[in-house]
Structure 1
Amino acid sequence: MDLEIGGCYVSETDRLPHAYTTLRNPILPLIDFDPKTSALTANATCPCELQLSFCAGVHFPEKKHYKDCHYIHFQTPFITPDDFPYNADVPISIRWPVTEWQLTVTAHDRFGNSVLEVSRFFRNISSHSPITDMTIEAKNVTVSFSFSVECEANFYGPACTIFCNETFKDQNGGSFKCSPGGKKICESGWTGSLCNEPKCEKDCVHGTCIGPNTCRCDFGWKGVSCSECVPLAGCQNGYCRTAHQCECLRNWGGLLCDIDLDYCSNHKDLCQNGGVCLSDGEDLYRCNCTAAFEGKNCEKKKEVDCTMLDCGVGVCVMGKAPQCECPLDRSGTHCEYLESDVKTSFRIDVLLISVAILILAICLAVLSVLIRFICEKLELIQKGGQAIPFYTAHWVAAELHIRERSSSPPPTYDTGQNRSPRKSWQKSSTEFLEEITV
C-alpha cells in the first residue's frame, strides 16, 4: 500500500501467475478544528493528534468474502497538523479481478477515543476505471481520499490478464514492443504471435530462416537465399545444377570432370615439325608426323634412305630426301602411273569439254532464234495485224550469202516491198540488215 496523508496514494497488489494488479488509493486527510472544542490548556493533549487506520476486505468471483482487514491493514503513527502532508508507501498484493471490496477508515486520539469510523463498498472496478474521489466527515475531522486500479508492470487489459514484457525473449529470440492494450507489435525481421519467428525478405529456397534476413542453407547450397548449388567436392572442369553435382564442360569427362577427352584442343603445339595432333581417347593423343620425323611428338628426325622408298619400275635417287626417277612412260611419287594412260585421260577430258562447249553453243543459237521469232510475232500483234513482210532467219542468211558473191540480183529477185530490185541490191549488207529490221 502506498499511503499519503495530505496528498498521497495507496497501492495494493495480489499476484496470480501472469496476473498482477495494483490498487492505488490516494488518501488526502484534512483536519479542521472547531473553535469551541479545540482550545488547548497547559496540561492538555492536542485533540488533533490522531492515528488513522485503513483496512479492506474483498469479495472475489468465487464468492469468498474477506473481512477484518484481511488484505489491507495499515495504521499511521500519531500525527499532528505539522506532519502534513504525511506520506507512506505500503506495497501489497491482491488477486484481480475483484467483484466487490469494502474500505474502512478509522481514526482515534491518544486517549483511545474514536473520532472516525466509516466503511464504503465498491463494485465493478477495473484497471480502466477512472480515479474515484471520496470525502469522509465526522465531528471535526474531514478525510478526503481517491483511489484507482492499475495493472502491475507488464500486465494489461481490464482484468490485468494480458502479459506483455518487452524484455522477454524465448529460446528463439524475438523482439517486440507492447501496445497500450498489451498487444505484441513485432519489430522488423520478426513475426508470429510471440514475435519469435524470424522473417526473411527473400525466401530461403533451400534453407531455413533463422534470423532477420538470415538463411541457414541446407547441405549443398549457398548464397543469400540458398539458391546457389555447391558442386561436388573436387569438381575441376564442371558445374552444378543441383547440390553436389559435377556436370562436365565440353571435352571433359569423368566423375570430377578431370579427364581430358580432347587432348589436342586443350594442349596446343604438342606435335612438332609439322606433325598433326589426333586425340585418341581419355588423356591420350598421337601425332601424325611428316615423312622426315618420328617420335611421340614428331621431335626426332628420321634417318631416311632409298631402302625406305618403293619406286616400283623407277630408280631411287638420294637428295635432301629420297625420291623416285621414273621412266619416260611412267609418273607419280612411286612411278605408279603410265604416261600413256595420263595422256589418254587428258585427251578424253579435252574432248568431253569440247563437246560440252559445242552443245552449249547450239542451245544458245536455237534459243536466240526462238526469242527473235517470238519478238517478231509480238510486234505484228501490236501493229494490228498489218501485212508486214516477215523475214525469217533462213531468208536473211541466204540473202546475205548471195549478196557477197554477186554484183547484181538474180533474174527473179524481188524484195516483196515494191522497191527497185537493182537499187535495193546495191545497198550494202549493213544497210540491208538495218532496212529489214525497221
Structure 2
Amino acid sequence: IPSASNVSSPFGVVILQEGGPLEIIVVATVGIGCGLLSWFPAPTDAVRYVPKWKKQACEIPSSQNEYSHYVCDDNGDVKCLPGWTGDLCDVPICKKGCDPLNGYCKRPGECRCKLGFYGDNCNRCIPLPGCQHGGCQVSFECVCHKGWDGIFCSEPMCREDCHPSRGYCEKPGECRCRLGWSGPTCRECQVLPGCMHGTCSKPLECKCLPGWTGILCQTLCIIF
C-alpha cells in the first residue's frame, strides 16, 4: 500500500496512521448507486486492527479477538496464555525436546517433523529410500555400516585378500569360490571332479602325475 493518508482497497477506504497505534483501519466501503457514490459503514469483519507492538495490544481492546493468545493484566500489560510466546503471543511453544531445526509446531505442545526427519522429537533422519545396510546423518543419504558398500549399501565387502574375480561373498568378511577354484582366498585351481592321480594349472583340469594316464588319471602306466 503506498504511503498516504488514505487509499482505496477491496473493502473500501483505508486510513493509514503512521506512528499511531494501528497499521490499518478500514472505515467505510464505497458502492455505486444511480451513478452516484454512496457511503455506508464497513462490515465488522472488514475491520482489522493490527497492533504494532505488545503494549498496544492492551491499549486497544478491539485488537483482541477469539484468536488472540493473551490477556491483559491490571497494569495493561500483555500476558501470554500458557503455551504461547512472542511479542503478540502468536508463536506456539513446541513440545519439550522437539528439535529446533528439524521440527516445528502450529499448536502448543506438538512437534511436527520437516521433510526428511521423523521421531517423537523429529531428531531422526530418513535415509535414502532403498538403503539396505546403512544409516544417515542428514536426511536422504545412505552411509554404509561396516562391511557394506554401494549406493544403497547392498554390496557386502568380502575378505580383504579374497581374489576379486575368482571369489565372491554373500555377507561381509567371507570368501566363497567360484566354480573351478578353491582355497581360503580362491587362488587355487580345482581339479576335474573324479581326478584320481592328477593336478591342475587351470580350473577343472586333470594333469596326470608321472606313471598315470586316462581322462581321470585313473590308469597306471604299464612299461614293457
Q: TM-score range by the shorter chain?
A: 0.3 to 0.5
TM-score (norm 1): 0.26
With a CA cutoff of 8 Å and minimum separation of 6, indicate the structure with the bigger relative contact order.
Answer: 1
TM-score of the two chains, using structure 2 as the length reference: 0.47
